[in-house]
Amino acid sequence: MLTLTIRDLQKNFGSLRALDRVSLEVQGNSIVGLIGPNGSGKTTLFNVVSGFYEKDGGEIYFKGERIDGLRPDQIVKKGLSRTFQVCKAPEKLTVLENMMLAAKSQIGEDPFSALFRRPRVSMLEKANLDRAMDLLEVLQLVDLRNEYAGDLSGGQKKLLSLGRAFMLDPDLILLDEPTAGVNLTLATQLLKVIRELQKKEGKTFFIIEHSMKVISDICDKVLVLNFGKIMAEGTPEEIRKDEQVLKAYLSGA
Amino acid sequence: MPVIYFLIYLLTMIGIYSLLAMSLNFQVGFTGLINFGQVAFFCIGAYASSLLVTKAGAPLILGFVGGMALSGLFGYIISIPTKSLKADYWAIATLAGGEVVRLLALNEGWLTEGPFGVMSIPQPLRWLFSKDSYPLFYLFLIAACVLIIYFVLSLLTNSPFGRNLKAIRDEEDLCLSLGKNTRKLKLQAMVVAGMVAGLAGALFAHYITYISPENFKPIETFLMWAMIIVGGRGNHLGAILGAVVIQLFNVSTRFIGGYVPLGSDTMAALRMVIIGLLIVLFLLYAPEGLIRERKKVYHLKRKHIE
């Protein structure tokens, strides 16, 4: 079973405990939400799990294998990928190039193959191009395919980062605020896509989100992080009613 | 007809510097690796090839291959610190790396003849041509090299490999999050660039038949940078055009010395001042250079473009 298991994970920034013995589990083929006030450690958790930050303690298992200590690209090759809260958009790569970039295991990524196995490389490129265009259609980015990613608006960059994640096609996707800054109609559409990917292809999503509506709409389980600790865990319904959570997080909203 | 010979010399040097500029552009313009020690590749290619031929008695072709291989190896070595150094600190390290290579050539006399340099470096297929026609042959040889390298580098930069390099240049973290081994990619890019510049070094050594550490001062790196700033980065044609412009200026101004009331030392210094000014003007008013990076447009099937 595809599961992300985190045990006693710690991360300090100087004297600040960003993650204070966090333990959690993300079951395969589910959508798990992660909420919590600003500065509670949500993005830090993602950064540690995806290998961008080094942990200060604890263990992370993915599909039964230990992944803490691996480089980000090695973790991706195990089937776990993430998006960024502030979207990364390569300035001089077009939208379509971004999608093509994300496709995994391309033999043309090796300079030797790029020169001497050209027919095979271009065949793979064509197949990827088809898939990229299909995904862009879903994300309503087809007309922008030849624009530089650096020239897109914030919301469009968000869509593109989802597109790249779908193109990469990992088993578990960590999404950092996937719908922030995206208009409501499209956001609803995106959530539908995420739902479908989970149902039809058995993908797993771990989502940081501030909108309780989004969380209630699609999450099977919600984790609440506060001051670097998991303070509650349950279905969206349970979380909504949790006194502690209400006090720490939801009451202000 | 000395004018013709001068012209052939000028074009030959433009060819050699085109290779160097394309190599630097491959690192800076495509991969975002700021290399201030580019001259080291040039130096290693030149020394390796000429020493292999003059001291080890290797055939010329082996000298060229050895020059490229050793220069590529240096690319491998100098790219190792990229994994722990930030881009700007790595840039400083390359500046030092370039000087280390030159100082080794200057001081390891048992191997390199030190300040005296390597003399009487043989020329490829020299016996086939007369003294007058040989420079023209060599120009063709270099033109062929420039064409081949242009073609090979274009294939690489248009491939998924090149796409990865451009993505590293623009957003390295994104590449990591997409599972790209950015360390390995940078390493590969440096080896490719090293081989190209090493080839330029070998071509240079066997052209002028005498090299010394004087030929490989940091100012050469500066000239190559001027070429890619003026010509444009992320574009192989831009690098070549930059080499043409800077070399034309650099070489031709030597001959107006007779018409201006300035000493040759002053002229040499003034030349660098003007190239410096050119760099500043380009960075301010045309930061993309003469030829800007071309947008990649994919050919789509009709189904997608209703």
Edge-to-edge order in the sheet of strand A4-13: A16-26, A4-13, A57-62, A65-66
Domain-located, residue A96: yes
C-alpha closest to that of B176 among A172, A177, A50: A50
Give the residue-averaged pLDDT of A158-178: 92
Q: Give me the pLDDT at residue A252, please.
A: 52
Domain-located, residue B77: yes
- Alpha helices by DSSP H, chain B: 2-25, 39-54, 60-79, 87-107, 109-112, 134-158, 160-170, 172-177, 182-208, 218-231, 236-252, 264-285
Give the residue-averaged pLDDT of B190-207: 98
Examine the domain organization and report whether A26 and A146 are in the same domain: no
Domain-located, residue A236: yes
Examine the pLDDT at B265 and tell me if it is beyond 90: no
Average pLDDT of chain A is 91
Examine the pLDDT at B1 and tell me if it is beyond 70: no
Domain-located, residue B167: yes
Domain-located, residue A196: yes
Domain-located, residue A190: yes
Q: Give me the pLDDT at residue B302, please.
A: 60
pLDDT, tens digit (0-9, with 9 covering 90-100), for A113-136: 999 999 999 999 999 999 999 999
Domain-located, residue B306: no
The answer for A 66-125 residues in CB contact with B (under 8 A) is 71-73, 76-77, 81-84, 88-94, 96-97, 100-102, 104, 106, 108-111, 114-115, 118, 121, 125
The answer for A 39-58 residues in CB contact with B (under 8 A) is 50-52
B181 touches chain A (CB under 8 A): yes
Examine the pLDDT at B185 and tell me if it is beyond 70: yes
3-state DSSP assignment of residue B118: strand
Examine the domain organization and report whether A80 and A32 are in the same domain: yes
| Comparison of pLDDT for B304 and B68, the residue scoring more | B68
Label the pairing between strands A57-62 and A31-35: unpaired
Structural domain range at position A111: 90-151
Give the residue-averaged pLDDT of B154-180: 96
Examine the pLDDT at B262 and tell me if it is beyond 80: no
Give the residue-averaged pLDDT of B97-122: 94
CB of B67 closer than 8 Å to CB of B206: no
Q: What percent of chain A has pLDDT over 90?
A: 70
Domain-located, residue A204: yes
| Domains: count for chain A | 2
Domain-located, residue B79: yes
Instruction: Determine, for residues B174 and A90 on separate chains, whether the beta-carbon distance falls below 8 Å.
Output: yes
CB of B178 closer than 8 Å to CB of A168: yes
Domain-located, residue A162: no
pLDDT, tens digit (0-9, with 9 covering 90-100), for B23-74: 999 999 999 999 999 999 999 999 999 999 999 999 999 999 999 999 999 9
CB of B102 closer than 8 Å to CB of B40: yes
CB of A240 closer than 8 Å to CB of A216: yes
User: Which residue among A84, A93, A106 places its CB closest to the CB of B167?
Assistant: A93
Examine the domain organization and report whether A202 and A236 are in the same domain: yes
Domain-located, residue B211: yes
Q: Give me the pLDDT at residue A196, please.
A: 86
A5 touches chain B (CB under 8 A): no
Q: Give me the pLDDT at residue A96, please.
A: 96
Q: How many beta carbons lie within 10 A of that of residue A212, not counting itself?
A: 17
3-state secondary structure string, chain A? CCCEEEEEEEEEECCEEEEEEEEEEECCCCEEEEECCCCCCHHHHHHHHCCCCCCCEEEEEECCEECCCCCHHHHHHCCEEECCCCCCCCCCCEHHHHHHHHCCCCHHHCHHHHHHCHHHHHHHHHHHHHHHHHHHHHCCCHHHCCCEHHHCCHHHHHHHHHHHHHHHCCCEEEEECCCCCCCHHHHHHHHHHHHHHHHHHCCEEEEECCCHHHHHHHCCEEEEEECCEEEEEECHHHHHHCHHHHHHHHCCC
Q: How many beta carbons lie within 10 A of that of residue B114, not counting itself?
A: 14
CB of A32 closer than 8 Å to CB of A205: yes
Domain-located, residue A159: no
Examine the domain organization and report whether A17 and A139 are in the same domain: no
Structural domain range at position B163: 2-216
CB of B49 closer than 8 Å to CB of B201: yes
B294 CA: distance to closest CA in chain A (Å): 9
Distance CA B189, CA B76 (A): 9
Angle (CA) B214-B216-B222 rounded to 5° is 120
Domain-located, residue A160: no
Examine the pLDDT at B306 and tell me if it is beyond 60: no
CB of A146 closer than 8 Å to CB of B300: no
Domain-located, residue B275: no
User: What are the beta bridge partners of residue A122?
Assistant: none
pLDDT, tens digit (0-9, with 9 covering 90-100), for A188-228: 888 888 998 889 888 999 999 988 888 888 999 999 999 99
Locus of tokens 């060599």:
B138
Examine the domain organization and report whether A51 and A100 are in the same domain: no
Q: How many beta carbons lie within 10 A of that of residue B50, not counting itself?
A: 28
Examine the pLDDT at A253 and tell me if it is beyond 50: no
Instruction: Determine, for residues B304 and A96 on separate chains, whether the beta-carbon distance falls below 8 Å.
Output: no
Instruction: Determine, for residues A73 and B162 on separate chains, whether the beta-carbon distance falls below 8 Å.
Output: no
Examine the domain organization and report whether A73 and A186 are in the same domain: yes
B299 CA: distance to closest CA in chain A (Å): 9
| Domains: count for chain B | 1
B304 touches chain A (CB under 8 A): yes
Amino acid letter, A90: P
**Which CATH number characterizes residue A176's domain?**
3.40.50.300
Give the chain A residue whose CA is nearest to the CA of B161. Answer: A109
Handedness of CA B253, B255, B260, B264 (dihedral sign): positive
The answer for B 276-295 residues in CB contact with A (under 8 A) is 293, 295
Q: How many beta carbons lie within 10 A of that of residue B109, not counting itself?
A: 11
Most B CBs within 10 Å: which of A46, A84, A92, A110, as the mutation test of the B interface?
A92
Distance CA B147, CA B201 (A): 17
| Comparison of pLDDT for A37 and B142, the residue scoring more | B142
User: Which residue among A90, A94, A164 places its CB closest to the CB of B295?
Assistant: A94
Examine the pLDDT at B196 and tell me if it is beyond 50: yes
Instruction: Determine, for residues A84 and B177 on separate chains, whether the beta-carbon distance falls below 8 Å.
Output: yes
Distance CA A100, CA A143 (A): 16
Examine the pLDDT at B301 and tell me if it is beyond 80: no
User: What are the beta bridge partners of residue A66?
Assistant: A61
Instruction: Determine, for residues A92 and B162 on separate chains, whether the beta-carbon distance falls below 8 Å.
Output: no
Query: Which residues of chain A lie closer than 8 angstroms to B178, CB-CB?
Result: 73, 76, 81, 101-102, 104, 164, 168
